[in-house]
Amino acid sequence: MHPTPEHAAPEDAEARRDIAPVICYPTDALPAPDLSAYRAARESWEKIADLRVPPREALAFDVPAGHFFRITSVEGPQVGDLNLFSADLSERFYSGKTRALHGTHLSRGDRMWSGFPTMRPLATITEDTLDWYGIDAFGGSVHDVIGTRCDPYTHCLLSDGGQYHHCCHSNLTRALAEARDLPLRETEALVHDVLNVFMCTGFTRDTGQYFMKASPVRPGDYLEFFAESDLLGVLSACPGGDCSSEHSSDTAACYPLGVEIYRPKSAPEGWAPPAPNAYDRSHGL
Ligand SMILES: [Zn+2]
């Protein structure tokens, strides 16, 4: 937030503001995914699962390495909060570093990176039917890694003690606990910041606040991923529906989300599962 200034601007304030930004993490050195090889592998694929995430609930699904999965809009505009784990839960999606590398919103060719110390791609986005949206006049775009996930704690703070149990955080916790037969408290600690699939978000230019607006997604749209290792995905159909008004309540119109899993006949040409990060972990000692 930006309070009314209490400190006078220095004489060279404008000159300081006029300095051009530099990209924090130029990605030229990152190994680029071979999208043409991924796409060629789809030619022979076979759909092996067609799942539904009920509105205001979450669903866990396993995706073997070398398979593809799609998150699809099936009945109406609906956003989804995606958590991604290695199948053994030892690695988790790191939304902050993914954002630092690929920007605030993800699309085709971007990776979903795991946290330290492995820091490697868990999945690669291979198709995005909303890539036409770009960045709108408000600075909004789709599939963000800037939000966290709607959760009952923030809701409780902002609603004078309100108790709501179908925020994405709770939905993800319940679905993960059931999928891996884990205690609720232990499971909750594994739930992490999400990829907001289909959600249209940005930051207001005047106050820098996180905003959302009606998602442009329509039935038939999808976001497609290639599993770089054996994965467990957990997807929540957000109680905010298309996130045009409010979440953390049963007010918004909500729809299911589809999850389709595909097995190609052979792995993409030249593909190998990514190795763990090569940093030696001595930290200077
Ligand atoms: Zn949500």
Per-residue pLDDT reduced to its tens digit, 28-37 = 888 889 999 9
Cα 56 to ligand 1 centre (Å): 8
d(CA 249, ligand 1 centre) in Å? 10
Residue 230 lies in a domain: yes
Ligand 1 centre distance from Cα of residue 81 (Å): 6
Q: How far is the CA of 273 from the centre of ligand 1 (A)?
A: 31
Domain assignment present for 60: yes
Looking at the predicted structure, is the pLDDT value of residue 248 above 80?
no
Examine residue 91 and state whether it is found in any structural domain, yes or no. Answer: yes
Report the separation in Å between the CA atom of 238 and the middle of ligand 1, taken as the mean of its atom positions: 4
Tell whether 269 is covered by a domain. Answer: no
What pLDDT does 28 receive? 87
DSSP classification of residue 87: T
**Residue 83: per-residue pLDDT:** 98
Cα–Cα distance measured from residue 39 to residue 109, given in angstroms and rounded to the nearest whole number: 11
d(CA 280, CA 285): 11
* Average pLDDT value over all residues in the chain: 96
Q: Which backbone phi and psi does 42 adopt, to 5 degrees?
A: -70, -25
The Å distance, Cα 268 to ligand 1 centre, comes to 34
Domain count, the chain: 1
Chain Cα centroid distance, residue 156: 24
The whole-number pLDDT of residue 31 equals 85
Tens digit of pLDDT for each residue in 180-209?
999 999 999 999 999 999 999 999 999 999
- Tell me, yes or no, whether 117 lies in a domain: yes
**CA quadruple 188, 190, 191, 192: dihedral sign:** positive
Rounded to two decimals, what is the model's pTM? Answer: 0.95
CA of 130 to the centre of ligand 1 (A): 20
Name the token pair of 206: 């005047």
Residue 50 confidence (pLDDT): 98
Residues 9-29 as b or e (16 or more Cβ within 10 Å = b)? eeeeeeeeeeeeeeeeeeeee
The answer as to whether 275 is a domain residue is no
Question: pLDDT tens for residues 149-172?
Answer: 999 999 999 999 999 999 999 999
| Cβ partners under 8 Å of residue 56, min gap 6 | 166, 171, 237, 238, 239, 250, 254
Question: In this structure, which amino acid lies at residue 11?
Answer: E
Does residue 158 lie within any of the structural domains? yes
- Domain range for 90: 54-263
For 90, 115, 260, the CA distances from 279, given in Å and listed in that order, are 18, 13, 35
